[in-house]
């Protein structure tokens, strides 16, 4: 069993039992690989899980906190094999994660992302409207997050058109010209969640625009919207009312597991692809939470070979909503995010991993 076997079949097509069987083999191999090649990973696992790890299910798989990448140099390759180094976004003074990729891991991540995105937007590159400004690439702090997100999805579009001017204000003439140029055709819209809300949904345009042929993909920035009492359901409803926009896909991902994107399904929940999965754990004792019970989100992925990012405990609280019964026919687990863990919960987790 190779990870390519899970990439080369339609995504979201494997039922949970079938995926568990395939992923267990891959994750055992990855765990052994990283123990043998990453001293830091071995030390963390030994300290928390003991010297002998015999896991019979994915839920037994050792995991490390995602914050470990901010405090440790975690890689399972020689420095000469480093092809690319990714860094997470962070405010001034904050530590950032550093993710070390070799060519093989970078290839897997690129293929995986392509498989997921094309499953939603189709195999052809679509005219792409970006709810941002080209000026985002001039600001290094913003570029690390928004700019990288735009560049990551740019290959799935063509004629990339930015709807905000250099002052980050909506340019209605640009929007109008783009929609007239591609009238009646499918288009691809991308923007960070807060940007879409602030500069598309809340913008005061002179006329009403029809985006019924558009596919919107968005991610990140929910905290600002939650502060304004805007949840996912409201976000989707308002965009449909204003633009007749129905095909809306949020996604969840992180630099520590690039390529392993959890895409929003037709239920409005986040869905695990074939080569990745999610486990919800009690923040006190790390036991597995059943469907409907919130807890810390653990994400697992078969992609990270050059660094031990295959099993990570995030700082997000989520709840598993169901398995294999999505209305759109997608198989596997689906879940939703409730928010960031409280500092007290994270301190408790930190204490456990620092014993």
pLDDT in tens, the chain (355 residues): 789 999 999 999 999 999 999 999 999 999 999 999 999 999 999 988 887 777 899 999 999 999 999 988 999 999 999 998 888 765 445 688 889 999 999 999 989 999 999 988 998 999 999 999 998 887 655 555 677 778 888 999 999 999 999 988 999 999 999 999 999 999 999 998 888 999 999 999 999 999 999 999 998 766 666 666 678 888 999 999 999 999 999 999 888 998 899 999 878 899 999 999 999 999 999 999 999 999 999 999 999 999 999 999 999 999 999 999 998 889 999 999 988 887 644 444 444 444 4
| Secondary structure class of 229 (helix, strand, coil) | coil
- Give the pLDDT confidence score for residue 190 in this predicted structure: 95
| Secondary structure class of 243 (helix, strand, coil) | helix
Pairing, β 270-271 against β 187-192: unpaired
Instruction: Determine the CATH number of domain 3-81+263-353.
Output: 2.30.38.10
Task: With beta carbons less than 8 A apart as the criterion, state whether 132 and 172 touch.
Answer: no
- Give the pLDDT confidence score for residue 148 in this predicted structure: 72
The neighbouring-strand residues paired with 113 are none
What is the CB-side half-sphere exposure of residue 263 using CA atoms within 13 A? 27
Angstrom distance (rounded) from CA 248 to CA 251: 10
Helices (H) and strands (E) in the chain, counts: 12, 14
- Give the pLDDT confidence score for residue 230 in this predicted structure: 77
Angstrom distance (rounded) from CA 159 to CA 162: 10
CA distances from 116 to 51, 257, 263 (A): 37, 14, 8
For the chain, the structural domain boundaries read 3-81+263-353, 124-251
């Amino acid at each position: 069993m190779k990870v390519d076997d899970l990439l080369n079949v339609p995504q979201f097509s494997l039922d949970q039992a079938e995926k568990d069987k395939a992923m267990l083999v891959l994750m055992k191999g990855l765990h052994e690989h990283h123990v043998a090649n990453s001293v830091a990973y071995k030390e963390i696992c030994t300290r928390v899980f003991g010297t002998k790890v015999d896991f019979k299910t994915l839920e037994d798989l050792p995991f490390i906190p995602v914050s470990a990448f901010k405090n440790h140099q975690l890689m399972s390759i020689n420095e000469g094999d480093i092809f690319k180094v990714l860094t997470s976004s962070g405010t001034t003074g904050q530590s950032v994660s550093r993710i070390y990729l070799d060519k093989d891991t970078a290839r897997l991540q690129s293929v995986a992302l392509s498989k997921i995105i094309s499953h939603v937007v189709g195999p052809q590159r679509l005219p792409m409207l970006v709810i941002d400004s080209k000026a985002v690439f001039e600001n290094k702090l913003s570029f690390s997050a928004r700019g990288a997100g735009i560049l990551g999805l740019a290959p799935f579009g063509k004629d990339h058109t930015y709807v905000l001017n250099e002052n980050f204000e909506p340019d209605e003439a640009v929007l109008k010209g783009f929609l007239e140029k591609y009238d009646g055709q499918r288009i691809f819209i991308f923007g960070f969640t807060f940007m879409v809300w602030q500069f598309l949904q809340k913008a005061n345009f002179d006329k009403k625009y029809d985006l019924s042929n558009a596919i919107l993909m968005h991610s990140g920035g929910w905290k600002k919207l939650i502060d304004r009492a805007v949840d996912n359901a409201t976000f989707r409803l308002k965009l449909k009312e204003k633009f007749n926009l129905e095909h809306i896909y949020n996604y969840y991902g992180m630099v520590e597991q690039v390529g392993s994107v959890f895409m929003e399904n037709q239920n409005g929940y986040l869905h695990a692809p074939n080569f990745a999965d999610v486990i919800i754990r009690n923040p006190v004792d790390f036991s597995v939470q059943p469907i409907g019970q919130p807890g810390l989100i653990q994400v697992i992925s078969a992609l990270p070979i050059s660094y031990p990012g295959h099993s990570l405990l995030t700082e997000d609280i989520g709840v598993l909503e169901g398995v294999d019964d999505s209305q759109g026919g997608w198989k596997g687990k689906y879940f939703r995010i409730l928010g960031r863990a409280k500092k007290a919960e994270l301190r408790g987790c930190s204490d456990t991993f620092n014993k």
